[in-house]
Amino acid sequence: MKNITKLGAVSALSLIVGASAAFAENIKIGFIDPLSGPFASTGTNGLHQFEFSADYMVNQNGGVLDGTNFEIIGFDNKTSPKESLIQLQVAIDQGVRYIVQGNGSAVASALTEAIDKHNRRNPDSRVLFLNYAAVDPALTNEACNFWHFRFDAHADMKMDALTDVMAADEGITKVYIIGQDYSFGTAVSKAANEMLAAKRPDIEIVGDELHPIGKVKDFTPYSRKIVASGADAVITGNWGADMLGLGKSIIENGYTGPIYTYYAAGSGITAAFGETGKGVIRLVSEGQVNPPPTPEAAAFYDAFKVKYPDGNVDQTRISNVIGMLAAAIEEAGTADDVVAVADALSDMEFESMWGSTLKMRPADHQLIQNVHIAKHTDEGVTYTFDNSDFGVVVESTVEMASADIPTTCEMKRPD
Amino acid sequence: MDLILVNLIDGLVTGLLLFMLSAGLTLIFSMMGVLNFAHASFYMLGAYFAYSISIAVGFWMGLLIAPLIVGVAGAAVERFGLRRVHQYGHVPELIFTFGLALLIEELVQFIWGKNQLPYSVPDVLNFTAFAISGNSIPAYKIFMIFISVGIFIGLLYVLTKTRVGMIIQAALSYPRTVEALGHNVPLIFMGVFGVGTALAGVAGVIAGPVLGTFPGMAFVLGSIVFVTIVIGGLGSLWGALVASLLIGWITTFAKSYNIEMENILNAIGIATPENMDENLFRDFWSITSPQIADILPYILMVLILIFRPAGLFGKRTQ
């Protein structure tokens, strides 16, 4: 009698354990980005936006494939390509099949290459690489592969939109280009040179230089050169502490023209610029926060602020990644066969709540979307950043920017 | 010509800031033989404390109170941490300060978060002091120069003209003798450690608004401080000053002028190879001075170690 009770208890227990195990089999998404070091704030804010998007858009609506939840796991890569590859291996060993990364094109190139190799050698544990912010054009050109998808507009596309706006401004005659010394900084400089020469041959490039990434203590010598060059517009691809340091220093040392940037918002940067950045800092980006493009976007933002009162939704593309991945998994009917998911994703059209149609290009897995030029201001801001009075308000929009930009990608689909 | 003057001022500001950090470090090292890896972390703490205080009672109180708190924290670290570890030798001390640096960085992130903090220049000083052919010199920079020069003069006075300073100097070279004469050497150590960290705190308070207040700020400054005291000579206040200014000016000028390696090599009589594409040293030929500006101090350090191991003003020779 006693034994039977025991047996019953044990089998009941094992049933419960088995059931909960099946229920807890989340779709794991590995987030490989800096969570410590000079760029920790950018990485951590990205992680929060991923966690929130997964919860708010997927898990709270019953998950995908009848009740499977998304689970975001953060891996700290310290912005190092080498460390990222170690973390990639750790992530794959933990059962992660979807990698998201964005901070640093050097890291992204290392990852996309490693993932391509891994997928060829290990057909049973293939992974997809959803790149949400690394914008070196090479990733969807010569370095493209079937497993990599980019959800941000790449540097050339953004520069295309940016130079359209600059070309229309007759007041601009001298431009200074400065960036971080790595693949992305080089790409920005190259694109700016080529496009300005094509659109406004009369504009003179009075300076074009790169500085070490994450190591400059004081940007004063650089800003002196910018002021001395007589530039009336500055273009920079800097991000994180390098963006704030450079921007503050340029303004402080007497420059008054516009600074066209890729990443001068959020992560404390908006608050730190405050009044000094008003009328100077311009931002080219996808995704529109001010004025709120749709009621859903506003609801999303409000809910985010409830969970992270100190956070910003400064990377709207993150919720696009989650939304499109969920849709692709539903369409493929599986989350385990990443080839099927990639096929679904590779020609997807998706209506983003941030007010744009998103079209994935099958040829190079580059997302085509609206690109905006926004300005740093405290006027007409619905959603401010960093709990300051300041935020970014969209000034002009390029619809489906660079939809026909050529690519050198030769995509090989696995058999 | 005008730009040279502007660069001299900029380099001076950078150098003096570096001096405030290295002055404390060099005193601590020469006295206790401890390479304090956490020194730049106290600089970071200074900026963060000052930010929090400045929100409540304004920038000036922050400038006054934050270094005091940092100094007391530094003294406490010496009294309750380093002094216990001291008996086990230098390596445990080194590891202790290294761990402390990591701990402080994590603690700062835990309390203040990982974001850049909007710690900014007080309104009173937020104007252009004067301009040299279009290059404006912010009043805050002038203020930084005055503060650091004031601190240097004060420190020099205390160390060379007062009784306390004499005891400290004596304890630097002959701690046992000073102890035998009835002075409380451990207390002097604690005091020097406290004052040294407080100086780093001051540097943090005044550098935070211009160089940015973020958890990585200790990391970007950490190694250059050691380079400074090695170049200047361990334990020498004048050495720390000269080395700081030297580094400030070298890096500023290297970044301000695009001197290409090709020009330098041509000037010393080496002709540019005709076919650059296949040349083994192609990258070397195309180096420009802003690219290598930040490693110039390290090159200088290596040269100093080879030709004058005691440093520019160092007295110790072994």
Interface probe for B, chosen from A218, A263, A267, A389 (most Cβ of B below 10 Å), is A218
Question: Are A40 and B114 a contacting pair at CB < 8 A?
Answer: yes
- Chain B CB contacts of A244 below 8 Å: 116, 212
Ramachandran sector of residue A186 (left: φ over 0; alpha: ψ -120 to 50; beta: rest): alpha
What is the pLDDT, as a whole number, of residue A8?
A: 55
What would the pLDDT profile of A132-160 be if each residue is shown by its tens digit? 999 888 999 999 999 999 999 988 899 99
Distances (CA, A) of B140 to A200, B10, B16, B129: 39, 12, 14, 8
Least confident of A180-189, B27-36, B177-186: B27-36
A296 vs B: CB within 8 A? no
What would the pLDDT profile of B237-246 be if each residue is shown by its tens digit? 889 999 999 9
What is the pLDDT, as a whole number, of residue B318?
A: 44
Distances (CA, A) of A226 to A40, A85, A282, B157: 28, 38, 17, 41
What is the pLDDT, as a whole number, of residue A356?
A: 87
**A326 touches A314 (CB < 8 A):** no
B67/A182 Cα distance (integer angstroms): 38
**Is pLDDT of B155 > 80?**
yes
What is the pLDDT, as a whole number, of residue B294?
A: 83
Tokens of A162: 């940016």
- State which H helix or E strand residue B130 sits in: strand B128-132
Domain ranges of chain B: 2-257+288-307
**Is pLDDT of B285 > 80?**
no
What is the pLDDT, as a whole number, of residue B223?
A: 84
What is the pLDDT, as a whole number, of residue A22?
A: 45
A393/A391 Cα distance (integer angstroms): 7
Least confident of A288-302, A326-340, B44-58, B287-301: B287-301
What is the pLDDT, as a whole number, of residue A104?
A: 85
What is the pLDDT, as a whole number, of residue A380?
A: 85
Handedness of CA A75, A45, A244, A366 (dihedral sign): positive
Question: Are A268 and B294 a contacting pair at CB < 8 A?
Answer: no
Across the interface, of B128, B212, B293, the residue whose CB is closest to A241 is B212
What is the pLDDT, as a whole number, of residue A21?
A: 44
What would the pLDDT profile of B82-96 be if each residue is shown by its tens digit? 889 988 888 898 899
**Average pLDDT over chain A, rounded to whole?**
88
State which fold the B2-257+288-307 domain adopts. Answer: ABC transporter involved in vitamin B12 uptake, BtuC (1.10.3470)
Q: Fill in the amino acid letter for A409.
A: C
What is the pLDDT, as a whole number, of residue A19?
A: 45
State the burial class of residue A379 (Cβ atoms within 10 Å of its Cβ: 0-12, 13-18, 19+): exposed
Least confident of A220-229, B130-139, B149-158: B130-139
Across A365-374, B263-272, B281-290, the highest mean pLDDT is recorded for: A365-374
- Strand-pairing partners, residue A31, are A74, A100
**Is pLDDT of B119 > 90?**
no
What would the pLDDT profile of A155-210 be if each residue is shown by its tens digit? 889 999 989 888 888 888 999 999 998 888 888 899 999 999 999 999 999 988 88
- The ipTM value here is 0.73
**Is pLDDT of A23 > 60?**
no
- Chain B CB contacts of A228 below 8 Å: 3, 134-135
Q: What is the mean pLDDT of residues B67-87?
A: 92
What would the pLDDT profile of A378-389 be if each residue is shown by its tens digit? 988 889 888 888
**Is pLDDT of A4 > 70?**
no
> What is the pTM for the complete model shown?
0.77
